[in-house]
């Protein structure tokens, strides 16, 4: 059963979607979505994954951070504190729904945020898909879309990254894939570095690296997150799967295939305890 509701958070509301299994077993997965436009690109895969997890007996909660989707706030009003506040409120809601054991899942930057909050929320395990280890590198790569748009419109780049960042300091806003990100949030995200400041979470974690071709190694970001934050636990895994890109410009819309769904379902269904993959 899937239930849509609005959860009050600090006088505002965030959209939640609760997926309840036919027979609940007291374990739940909180799904932390990707940032900005990447949330839309990974949206269908997120829904399919939530339903697959519910089919495996897990209670699942999806939600929209404020400034995203159908939750309150405009894009430019997002801050790191509100992203964390939304995540924490959603975790509490999932526990209220019967999840005595809490797990966290995150796509991309959502995975980084989930890992940062896992210890404080008492998560039993985490599973992350291509999480960026450093916020500044992630933001710099995100600016490529702005430059690509300029190339298609003007047959050249009129405002390079340095000029765009200078504009942000003047106006307080930066356009990333059509989302107006406030300079304050930009600086907060840019300061995140999991290698320089490893999170406190000491439990097991799965890092799933989606790559373009069979036999390719894990992407550098996923490997860095795994080695700096999760490799110390004997049950942790760095798993590589060939899968078409779920974020960025796509030739065809990706819904999330078995290469994505199966490792995560297996992990939350019991693999996090250290069983065979």
Query: Which tens digit of pLDDT belongs to each residue from 47-70?
Result: 999 999 999 999 999 999 999 999
Provide the pLDDT for residue 178: 83
CA 230, CA 214: separation in Å to the nearest integer?
24
Range of lowest pLDDT (52-66, 82-96, 102-116, 165-179)? 165-179
Residue 184 tokens, joined:
């304050």
pTM, whole model, 2 decimals?
A: 0.94
Instruction: Return the closest-CA partner of residue 207 out of 192, 193, 196, 221.
Output: 221
What ranges in 69-218 are assigned the alpha helix state H?
Answer: 80-96, 109-121, 135-142, 144-154, 161-171, 183-190
Provide the pLDDT for residue 180: 93
Provide the pLDDT for residue 249: 64
Q: Both ends of the chain: CA-CA distance in Å?
A: 28
Q: Number of helices (H) and strands (E) in the chain: give both, helices first.
A: 10, 10
Instruction: Return the closest-CA partner of residue 111 out of 258, 191, 255, 222.
Output: 222
CB 146 within 8 A of CB 71: no
pLDDT of residue 215 exceeding 80, the answer is yes
What is the residue-averaged pLDDT of the chain?
Answer: 92
Q: What is the pLDDT of residues 125-142, one digit of tens each?
A: 999 999 999 999 999 988
Instruction: Return the closest-CA partner of residue 126 out of 228, 271, 224, 223.
Output: 271
CA 143, CA 224: separation in Å to the nearest integer?
22
What ranges in 122-257 are assigned the alpha helix state H?
Answer: 135-142, 144-154, 161-171, 183-190, 220-225
Residue 251: band (very low, low, confident or very high) from pLDDT cuts 50, 70, 90: low
Provide the pLDDT for residue 127: 98
CB 77 within 8 A of CB 35: no
* Exposure string for 126-151, b = 16+ CB within 10 A, e = fewer: bbbbbbbbbbeebbeebbebbeeebe
Domain ranges in the chain with CATH number 3.40.50.1820: 2-134+198-273
Q: What is the mean pLDDT of residues 265-274?
A: 96
CB 129 within 8 A of CB 106: yes
pLDDT of residue 253 exceeding 70, the answer is no
Strands ordered across the beta sheet of 59-63: 2-9, 12-19, 59-63, 27-32, 101-107, 125-129, 205-211, 237-242
CB 229 within 8 A of CB 201: yes
The CATH code of the domain at 2-134+198-273 is 3.40.50.1820
Q: What is the mean pLDDT of residues 162-174?
A: 93
Q: What is the mean pLDDT of residues 154-167?
A: 84
Highest mean pLDDT among 3-7, 153-157, 213-217: 3-7
R_g over Cα of the chain: 18
């Amino acid at each position: 059963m899937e239930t849509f509701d609005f959860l009050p958070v600090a006088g505002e509301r965030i959209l939640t979607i609760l997926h309840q299994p036919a027979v609940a077993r007291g374990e739940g997965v909180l799904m932390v979505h990707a940032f900005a436009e990447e949330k839309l690109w990974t949206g269908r895969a997120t829904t399919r994954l939530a339903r697959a997890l519910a089919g495996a007996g897990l209670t699942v909660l999806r939600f929209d951070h404020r400034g995203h989707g159908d939750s309150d706030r405009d894009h430019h009003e997002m801050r790191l504190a509100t992203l964390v506040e939304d995540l924490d409120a959603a975790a509490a809601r999932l526990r209220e729904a019967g999840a005595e054991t809490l797990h966290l899942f995150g796509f991309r930057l959502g995975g980084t945020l989930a890992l940062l909050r896992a210890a404080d929320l008492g998560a039993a395990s985490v599973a992350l898909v291509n999480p960026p280890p450093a916020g500044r590198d992630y933001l710099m790569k995100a600016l490529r879309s702005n430059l690509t748009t300029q190339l298609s419109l003007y047959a050249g780049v009129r405002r390079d990254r340095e000029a765009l960042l200078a504009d942000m300091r003047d106006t307080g806003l930066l356009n990333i894939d059509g989302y107006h990100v406030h300079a304050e949030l930009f600086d907060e995200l840019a300061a995140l570095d999991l290698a320089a400041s490893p999170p406190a979470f000491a439990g097991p974690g799965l890092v799933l690296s989606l790559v373009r071709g069979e036999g390719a190694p894990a992407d550098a970001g996923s490997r860095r997150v795994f080695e700096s934050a999760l490799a110390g636990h004997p049950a942790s895994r760095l798993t590589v799967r060939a899968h078409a890109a779920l974020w960025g410009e796509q030739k065809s819309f990706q819904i999330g295939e078995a290469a994505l769904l199966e490792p995560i379902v297996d992990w939350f269904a019991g693999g996090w305890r250290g069983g065979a993959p």
